[in-house]
């Protein structure tokens, strides 16, 4: 089972690599707006998870750069995710609200919808 998952993961990463989307051209002003909006966010992921690939491709196409934490390879990140968000499921976007409050947004579709709505990106 582990070996099948590994092979599937490699295939997903390879396909993602050869069909990687080009970033849409945007103005410097829009780039600054995106960067300032996402600067303190973190996305918990597994590198070869197809749902994470979907979110990463959306981000790349739309010039969104968010720090990622691989919760498969790093047990500390997995613990952070479980303690903060309540479960080990990726992708999960951590959105800090203020000093004591954060939103842990699960579901690839919801993450893409959130980013596109907040950044006025058409889907
Ligand atoms: N409906 C979810 C599915 C996410 C999902 O199934 N993620 C898998 C990895 S591909 C996961 O977190 N599994 C937990 C585990 O393997 O422990 C989405 O679209 O984000």
Give the orientation angle of helix 50-61 with respect to helix 108-118, to 10 degrees: 10
pTM of the predicted protein model: 0.95
Cβ of 49 below 6 Å from ligand 1 = yes
Reported as a pLDDT band with limits 50, 70 and 90, residue 123 is: confident
- Asked whether residue 1 carries a pLDDT value surpassing 90, the answer given is no
Query: Which residue has a Cα nearest atom 20 of ligand 1?
Result: 107
Q: Identify which of 57, 90, 91 to mutate to test ligand 1's pocket (most ligand atoms within 8 A of the CB).
A: 90
Residue range 7-16, pLDDT digits in tens: 999 999 999 9
Residue range 30-76, pLDDT digits in tens: 999 999 999 999 999 999 999 999 999 999 999 999 999 999 999 99
Task: Specify the CATH architecture of the domain 2-118.
Answer: 3-Layer(aba) Sandwich (3.40)
Domain locations in the chain as residue ranges: 2-118
Residue range 17-26, pLDDT digits in tens: 999 999 999 9
Both tokens of residue 71?
């919760």
């Amino acid at each position: 089972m582990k070996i099948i998952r590994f092979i599937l993961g490699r295939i997903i990463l390879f396909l993602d690599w050869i069909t990687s989307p080009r970033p849409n051209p945007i103005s410097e002003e829009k780039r600054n707006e995106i960067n300032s909006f996402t600067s303190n966010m973190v996305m918990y992921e597994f590198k070869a998870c197809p749902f994470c690939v979907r979110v990463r491709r959306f981000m790349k196409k739309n010039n969104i750069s968010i720090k990622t934490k691989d919760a498969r390879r790093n047990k500390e990140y997995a613990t952070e995710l479980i303690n903060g968000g309540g479960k080990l499921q990726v992708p999960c976007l951590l959105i800090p609200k203020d000093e004591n409050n954060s939103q842990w947004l699960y579901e690839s579709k919801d993450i893409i919808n959130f980013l596109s709505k907040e950044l006025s990106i058409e889907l």
